[in-house]
Amino acid sequence: MDERTLSRRDVLAAGAGMVAAAGSLIPAFEAVAETKSSGGTTMNNVTPFKIEVPQARLDYIMSRIKDAQWPDVPEGEPWQYGTSGAAMKDLALYLVTKYDWRAREAAMNMYPNFKAEVEDYEIHFIHVKGSGKNPQPIIMTHGWPGSFTEFLKVIDPLTHPENHGGSADDAFTVVIPSIPGFGFSSKPKKPINTREVARLWDKMMTENLGYSSYITQGGDYGSMISLWLGAEGKGCKAVHLNFLLGVGAPVVTDEDKASMARWGQVYMGEGGYIHIQSTKPLTLSYAMTDSPLGAAAWIFEKMKTWSDLKNGDPWSIYSREDVLDNIMVYLVTNTFGTASWMYAGASSAPSVPPDPITKPTAIAHFPGELVFWPKSYAERHFKLVRWTDMPVGGHFAALEQPKLFADDVMAFGKLLRT
């Protein structure tokens, strides 16, 4: 059945949990039929897409989780040596007994999903047109181990601010792509880097979608993609980041030195995954591709460690659906391996552009980030027009603190209109 033939009652019932978390999705539902034009320009090589995971794949995942071999867990702090055994068993039990992928899938399909042919790739993306007379296009990019699901809660506040106490005149048109090798985008034949992805994004926004200018937003690898868009994207007019990593840039001030020292500490304590995924991602992928439980534990541990939690409890911030939606995108598409290639690809291009970014830039500093370069660094390397020290929140900002995230993006958008 095509998504445009689903009744509102059916879809809202199927995705009730996500709808409650994301806010009103009626405007997004009504936008599904808007597939032929973008910004007054006909879309090029873009086709509607519906998420429809084969039942055989879902059955395979569930059977492997149920029959999984569990490791011995050492005594001591539950998360000291990696993913807590108790927490992982709780999440696995929830997955096989309560989590409903079909309901979550239906809720994801309420948004207009598309695929665009860009160079040799089919890029999956969500595209929701904003209200008002002149919504600003914005492309928002996830990182690893994230996915497009990170941004679902902020779509309606950004595209229809009038539903959230704001003005329709401040609306954005939101584009949320999946990086090649992640989720429902096609897979690269070899590791790619953030600079290459930025080139694809600029082509998609300007050539496929017909936008003469747009804003870019990102965290994690999405921030580095956004920096390359700010440096080289022909259509990019401004940059919003919720992650700032200055590795590779000159260390000048005492604040820079402190950030670099912090990076070294975090790398030694938390960076084993970086070294493995940068050097031997294929060896890791054999295990993770064969074990849905292993891939889930690998991702879950990062979502817990990198988030700003109360008393270290992941369920103080997230619902189990939040975590499982993200994990399941990797599992249903069998993309754990190709997603991890981003780290190997990083060696083929600088992590950040060597020259300062001259486009207007806003940075939201969420305190739960393990590493974050200081404002003084940002002032030297960007045309910094907005810096926000957030009261709470961590690495997965749009998912953890959707209101703070959306409000900051909205405030930046207003600056660009003046």
What's residue 247's pLDDT?
A: 64
Q: Within a domain: residue 275? A: no
Q: Within a domain: residue 111? A: yes
What's residue 11's pLDDT?
A: 38
What domain range is 378 assigned to? 3-52+100-256+355-417
Cis ω for the linkage preceding 177 (within 30 of 0): no
DSSP letter for 169, please. G
What's residue 26's pLDDT?
A: 36
What's residue 346's pLDDT?
A: 86
What's residue 41's pLDDT?
A: 52
Q: Within a domain: residue 16? A: yes
Q: Within a domain: residue 282? A: no
Number of domains the chain contains: 1
Q: Within a domain: residue 143? A: yes
Catalytic residue among 220, 256, 308, 408: 220
Q: What is the rounded distance in angstroms from the CA atom of residue 120 to the CA atom of residue 117? A: 7
What's residue 4's pLDDT?
A: 33
Q: Where on the phi/psi map is residue 15: left (φ > 0), alpha (ψ -120 to 50), or beta? A: alpha
Q: Is 275 a catalytic residue?
A: no
Q: Within a domain: residue 329? A: no
Q: How many CB atoms lie within 10 A of CB 297?
A: 22
Q: Within a domain: residue 338? A: no
Helix (H) or strand (E) holding 255: helix 254-270
Q: What is the rounded distance in angstroms from the CA atom of residue 25 to the CA atom of residue 107? A: 9
What's residue 28's pLDDT?
A: 37
Q: Is 395 a catalytic residue?
A: yes
DSSP letter for 310, please. B
Residue ranges of the chain whose pLDDT lies below 50: 1-38, 40
Output the pTM of the full model. Answer: 0.90
Q: Within a domain: residue 57? A: no
- Residue 199 sits in a domain whose CATH number is 3.40.50.1820
Torsion sign over Cα 97, 101, 107, 108 = positive
What's residue 39's pLDDT?
A: 52
Catalytic residue among 111, 343, 377, 408: 343
